[in-house]
Amino acid sequence: MSLVHAGKFREDLYYRLNVVPVGIPPLRERPEDIIPMIRIFLNQNNIKMKEHKEIDSKTIEILMKYPWPGNVRELQNLIERLVITTKGTVILPENLPGFISETAKSEDNAVIPAEAGLKAALNHAEREILLNAQRQYKTTRAIAKALGVSQPTVVRKFQKYNIKDPGTL
């Protein structure tokens, strides 16, 4: 509605489109949709480009770990890119862009040895959860809401783990 008031969106079109508001959660909150979407986009691009590419199961595992900040459009564009750029018939993990592979590696490297102790492991896990939330949400309020804690708790945890507040980046 703010775009209507600013004169950047037609008011009549707004009311036509807003008959039944539909809230669709972001892809990162619907991991069960990722594999079917990969299959659909792969099939569409194979037909469009007259290819017969398949996707390796390890590649799918890596894609499942990625937070998809660009949502469904990012996944769709990535699959198209992989069909175009992958040599051979199987899309392997090494065909993925570096930033996606790095996200998966950082999650894999998050294993703490038992000798470190429970407290260290819990602190590490809590810090990783906060960092992941920070990548997905723009404010400490949004992070707090997503994690089910208060906003001051998020601020305290950011200070504890020396994480920069997303509002100050």
Under the banding of pLDDT at 50, 70 and 90, the label for residue 106 is low
Q: How far apart are CA 79 and CA 60, in angstroms?
A: 11
What single DSSP character describes residue 29? G
Q: Where do you find CATH 1.10.8.60 in the chain?
A: 27-107
Under the banding of pLDDT at 50, 70 and 90, the label for residue 14 is confident
Q: Where do you find CATH 1.10.10 in the chain?
A: 113-168
Q: What is the pLDDT of residues 134-158, one digit of tens each?
A: 888 879 999 999 999 999 999 999 9
CATH of domain 27-107: 1.10.8.60
Q: Whole-prediction pTM value?
A: 0.56
CB burial string 20-41: b at 16+ within 10 A, e below: eeeeeeebbeeeeebeebbeeb
Under the banding of pLDDT at 50, 70 and 90, the label for residue 164 is confident
Rg of the chain over Cα atoms, rounded to whole angstroms, equals 20
CATH architecture of the domain with range 113-168: Orthogonal Bundle (1.10)
Q: What is the pLDDT of residues 45-74, one digit of tens each?
A: 999 999 999 999 999 989 998 889 899 999
Q: Alpha-carbon torsion 160, 151, 64, 42, what sign?
A: negative
